[in-house]
Amino acid sequence: MQIRILGCSGGIGGNLRTTSMLLDNDVLVDAGTGVGDLTITELLKIDHVFLTHSHLDHITSLPFLVDTVGPMREMPVTVHCAEATRKILQEHIFNWKVWPDFTEIPSKSSPCLRYSTFSIGDVIDLDGRKIKILPANHVVPAVGFQFDSGEASLVFTGDTTVNDALWTEVNKIVNLRYLIIETAFPNMEKELAIASKHLCPSMLAEELAKLQRSTRVFVTHLKPGAGTLTMQEVEECAERYNPRMLSNGQVFKF
């Protein structure tokens, strides 16, 4: 398995792109602004989209993806998400007011988009690639993912704050190789991190102290303008875990 980072910022500006990752060539993980850098040929290969939650920085490219390639495809793009996320997308995005409902285009019997809902703990097998749904703790219903090739696993927490349930599951993963975890705000904005259910560096260190597996840690979702400061604080607070900043274009093979 291979994951390429298309976007990993908590906002835009300059060359920053919001959260999106490409698993192999056919599975999109979240659909932030980084998806827009893919070619049409690359977009056409995407059969599945896995969403952590419904916030705009994680779904903004989904309507454009389906609109662009849907009519060119023989099969619909399958969006995998929690039932609560599906309802939000249906009611607030694909509702004929913000964007057409592509579950009805060109027809209900032959749509460009279909949903497949999951629950925490489910394991989805895509041709031997196992994707387990992990718990997250955010202001809207949210999840994380474990991507397991059999040889090794990568965990992506999605947007989350203090989350004991996550570490219970992560500590069971014997082949854990990579952990991608968010830290959205610097320590001086800890109250904002708590209110918005994100992490700041001091909270990240407290969460990583619950980790019982050896793994390489990468930090995502840094806010534009505060990224340098936040990473300095991450390195100070969580030095023992040797955290590194996730970078756009980075590739993980496992």
Q: What CATH number should be reported for the domain holding residue 99?
A: 3.60.15.10
| Per-residue pLDDT tens digits for 124-173 | 999 999 999 999 999 999 999 999 999 999 999 999 999 999 999 999 99
Q: Which domain holds residue 90?
A: 2-253
Residue 20 to residue 39: CA distance in whole angstroms = 15
Label each residue of the chain as H, E or C. Answer: CEEEEEECECCCECCECECEEEECCCEEEEECHHHHHCCHHHHHCCCEEECCCCCHHHHCCHHHHHHHHHHHCCCCEEEEEEHHHHHHHHHHCCCCCCCCCCCCCEECCEECEEEEEECCCCEEEECCEEEEEEECCCCCCCEEEEEECCCCEEEECCCCCCCHHHHHHHCCCCCEEEEEEECCCCHHHHHHHHHCCCCCHHHHHHHHCCCCCCCEEEEECECCCCHHHHHHHHHHHCHHHCCEECCCCCEEEC
% of residues, the chain, pLDDT over 70: 100
pTM value is 0.97
Predicted pLDDT at 26: 98
Helices 227-237, 201-208: inter-axial angle, 10-degree rounding: 40
- Across the range 173-183, mean pLDDT stands at 98
pLDDT value, residue 191 = 98
For residues 90 and 100, give the distance between their C-alpha atoms in angstroms, rounded to a whole number. Answer: 10
Reported for 197-203, long-range contacts at CB under 8 A and 24+ positions apart, including other chains, are 197/137, 197/138, 197/139, 197/159, 197/160, 197/161, 198/159, 198/160, 198/161, 199/160, 199/161, 199/162, 200/230, 200/233, 201/230, 201/233, 201/234, 201/236, 201/237, 201/238, 202/233, 202/237, 203/161, 203/162
Q: Which residues pair with 50 in a beta bridge?
A: 29, 80
The total number of structural domains that make up the chain: 1
pLDDT digit string, tens, across residues 16-31:
999 999 999 999 999 9
Query: Residue 107 burial (CB < 10 Å; 0-12/13-18/19+)?
Result: exposed
Say if residues 176 and 217 touch (Cβ distance below 8 Å).
Answer: no
* Residue 119: per-residue pLDDT: 98
